[in-house]
Structure 1
Amino acid sequence: MQQLYPKQEINANSAGNITGLAFYLDSSATIGDSSNWTVYLGHTTKTAFISGTDWIPASQLTQVFAGTVTNNNGKVEISFTTPFAYNNVDNLVIAAKENSQSIDINNFDEVFHVYDHIPNSTLYYKGDQMVIDPVSPPGGIRANYKSAITILGLTSSTTPACPFVVYPINNAQSIPLSPAIKWFPVSGADSYRVSIGTTPGGVDVINQQVVTTTDFSPSIPLNPGVNYYLRVTSVSAGVNSSACTDIAFKTVPPIPVNDACSGALLASSFPYTYTQNDAVSATNNAGNINVCSDAMNDGTWFKFIGDGSQYTIKATMPSGSTFDPQIGVYNGNCNNLVCVNTVDNGGGGTAETITIPTVAGTDYYINIGSYEETIDAPEDIFTITITKL
């Protein structure tokens, strides 16, 4: 099992030697068949495991303990023969291997005390009759909780720990204008202070607003398409945490100019190409479009004038996109659209292509939006290409 403890959660006053660890469990728990431990420590920049095989290599870990542990009235305390020099710069990984082929009836997470923290901050493998080789471990299971521990030997900071902000993550894009900011609670904190500015460390939007919960949303919506800097600090007995870092994020872009049919962008020369980077802010206007039998969301709009030729319309997404678009083509006018054709053949991230014949002098309107027929689903970045055949 490997578990990640961020530097800010450790909250040491300075670099120093870790001399041992204390784990906590039910005082009546039996661990006789799970008492042969090997423990490793290491430095890491990880805050979460990205998969069940994302183990930190054994070569990056230092063995700090090997021996038998006991449940001493609800505590398992181990002392290191050689202290581990923690640099107070990186995060800490604590890895433990149980060496017995038999196991106790209790499961680890049912006996040892755990707490919810960063999603996927624990990676473990559990199986009877099998001793794991830490050099080549099998695929494991990620968890959103980790062991409640005491790290022995380090001198704690004189100020409370900085909260770990869960949302938004640093450098996040397209954050809503009224974001539901969330962070993990800090042990001993009785309140928190939230600041938001348009410059690093700035407080021009929100200036150290006191919050007694672990979530916050601005009472006045933020502005679209703006870079903001968020800082959350904790307060314990009137003492504020120090040296907390900013979380940078950018809000959703303004509503696209071609959000409505009346603002459709005119394609006048071909091939025509346009990348819609602000599609995430498209609105559903008067609701889903039911002009064709296969209904769709009202996304963003384009227009061209037919000349009797055939035209191919294609929507492509950037690599890694999960946006699932539908293309709808109509003629008539924005107040009285007539279905020409629509296409939704692929799934998320898959390009859609449609070819239509045109009548000279007729206006054709193209809508590219989410394929959803009855609910308002968000659009995302795409590129439209219109080619005359």
Structure 2
Amino acid sequence: MNIGIDKIGFATSQYVLNMNDLACARGAEPEKFSIGLMLDALSITPISEDIVTLATTASHDILTEQDKADIDMVILATESGIDQSKAASVYVHSLLGIQSFARSFEIKEACYAATAALNYAKLHVSTNPDSKVLVVASDIAKYGIGSAGESTQGAGAVAMLVSSNPRILTFNDDNVAQTRDIMDFWRPNYSTTPYVNGIYSTKQYLDSLKTTWAEYQKRHQTDLKDFAAMCLHLPFPKLALKGLNKLITKNLPEQNKTQLLANFEHSIAYSRKVGNIYTGSLYLGLLSLLETSDTIKAGDKIGLFSYGSGAVSEIFSANLVEGYKAMLKPSRLLDLDKRSPLSVTEYEKLFYEEADLDEEGSATFNNYKTGSYRLKGIEQHQRIYIKNED
């Protein structure tokens, strides 16, 4: 049975911060971000946008009423959860109007979680061929003002509908995963921003890629020349480029090397304008590749490297199916250019804004721009979401 991704949707904030402006405000050379990180802009969220609104908007854009009737599982992968008990997927399920008899739950392992969710979805569909599973990776990457990680923030959600006989790509049963207990990036319950051992984390990312790839090659007797493209987790694009270059060996034919590097550039086109979206970063790269590359084609094999700090990594592959381009949105780069630009002062104001709860645990928010859904406020400690009027 062929199982894979039938539809992909994406949503990000309606506000954007230009990296040149941030560099100027922080006394850094613009090239430090544009070349050193390969980032041009960051999506910035107001208080009325969160992982639920992003996830619901990304899903709303791709689902039909028939999809909502067929979906029997909703999985939301995130590392910026809004509640220690209630899964964000339950809100998404309700806001979208998905049929009641569906499982809904949240899954966590840093930026790796969406890959685990896709594996779970694949297993579910394999035993329930008529099922559809909605997998959403939704996160807001937020670091301290002036911190080392500030320039790698971002926000967004990638929604993927997993089914049999998919119209975009089919998964190959070749997953190889690795777990190692390390402290490269973590966020305790009492902290609103993460703790990062930056240099150590980049070394762990690259070493996990190297060792997982070696095991993948050993198990499946394969080489880079078998892939039309490699999509890698994108905490920032320059790190992924370093990773890809480590995989490219001297005996790889020049034609294959050229193709892989060209398609890598296509895979980072969206992330350059959005920044780090944690669990969705790998899949935003995949979507960017599919929508901006004019050299990949049906039947091509795409490699994917997933990494989540802490740390879990995984390499797997998928093949594009005939007609996949009809399921995509080639105008997405133009949509990203429609976001409202923020000055650094405006960005910092949004960054520091928090819910001002009254004695009953209620608060209302300013009417900022959001996607199709927004967080209206909090009533007696309960989050109130609404759909924006068209």
> What's the TM-score once normalised by structure 1's chain length?
0.20
- In terms of fraction of residues, the more strand-rich structure is 1
- In terms of fraction of residues, the more helix-rich structure is 2
> Bigger relative contact order, structure 1 or 2, given CA contacts below 8 A and separation 6+?
2
> What's the TM-score once normalised by structure 2's chain length?
0.20
